[in-house]
Amino acid sequence: MIELRDVTHRYGERVVLRDLSLRLEERRVAVIGGNGSGKSSFARLLNGLQLPSAGQVLIDGLDTRSDGKAVRRRVGFVFQNPDNQIVFPVVEEDLAFGLKNLRLPRDEIRARVDAALARYDLTELREHPAHLLSGGQKQLLAIAGVMAMEPAHIVFDEPTTLLDLRNKRRVARAIAELPQNVVMISHDLELLRDFDRVIVLDEGRIVADDRPGPAIDFYERRMA
């Protein structure tokens, strides 16, 4: 379970999130909002990439401030641009990176890499240079790299924004199949239709928190 207690977050003078208190227990939670609504900072608070200026963020009872390392093991993070998330030159090396950081035994790493490659249709590309993959393949590799670490939660920061329609659907399917709890930041309302809960942020405050139908309707009226 993810819990925010009286969280306020600022950049210098600017307040981007204001006094949020939330418990996220559902399997699929989405966060939507216009540009500058604070949703990207919200995502980064959940795995301790950023620490709140005030208040607490708890992941399964672990505080992101004091248990940063453990939190990062529990919460995977998929970024908007896979080009910045893939950090090794070759596909299989990149998949192994997160697993090596977990200090898993060599056999376990190999087994998990093979499984992740097979699951995302990347087996043929295992020795391929990462920069030669298509945009959709890169995002799948990024997801595979996080998934292989078997976190309890995965946070997605606009994972389909840079993809074309076909790859969007492919990535959406991959996300739908994940066994993990998912928190997804997105502009892509289509992606959220089968989610359990949708939170609408505006200027750092929660303005709606509901099932997808009513929440998306509210958001569309507000943006109009």
Partner 1 sequence: MILSDYLPGTGLLWRLPPGIKLLALAALGTLLLAVPLLDLAAITFVAVIALYLGSGLGWRVIWGILRPMLLILAIVAGAQWWLFDALSALMVALRLAALLLFASLVTLTTRASDMIAALERALFWLRPLRVNPAKVSLALSLALRFIPVLGSITAEVREAQRARGLERSVIATAVPVIVRLLKMADDIADAIEARGYDPGNETSRSTGETRP
For 182, counting Cβ atoms within 10 Å of its Cβ (0-12 exposed, 13-18 middle, 19+ buried), the class is: buried
Q: Which residues 6+ apart lie within 8 Å of 118 measured at CB?
A: none
Q: Which of residues 123-182 bind partner 1 (CB under 8 A)?
A: 129-131, 145-146, 149
The residue among 69 and 221 lying less far from partner 1, judged by its C-beta, is: 69
Select the span of 97-105, 117-125, 164-172, 175-183 touching partner 1 (CB under 8 A): 97-105
Q: Name which position in 72, 153, 168, 170 contacts partner 1 (CB under 8 A).
A: 72
Size of the site for partner 1 (CB under 8 A): 40
Q: How far is the CB of 7 from partner 1 (least distance, A)?
A: 12
- The answer to whether 10 contacts partner 1 (rule: CB under 8 A) is yes
Q: Which residues 6+ apart lie within 8 Å of 144 measured at CB?
A: 95, 116, 117, 119, 120, 122
Q: What are phi and psi of 171, to 5 degrees?
A: -70, -40
Tell me which residue of 64, 47, 49 sits closest to 5, measured CA to CA.
64
Q: Which amino acid type is present at position 208? A: A
The residue among 36 and 179 lying less far from partner 1, judged by its C-beta, is: 36
Q: Name which position in 27, 34, 97, 218 contacts partner 1 (CB under 8 A).
A: 97
* Distance separating alpha carbons of residues 129 and 89, to the nearest angstrom: 6
Q: Name which position in 5, 19, 51, 210 contacts partner 1 (CB under 8 A).
A: 51
The residues of the shown chain that bind partner 1, judged by CB under 8 A, are 9-12, 16, 41, 44, 47-53, 68-69, 72-73, 76-77, 79, 81, 83-89, 93, 97-98, 101-102, 129-131, 145-146, 149
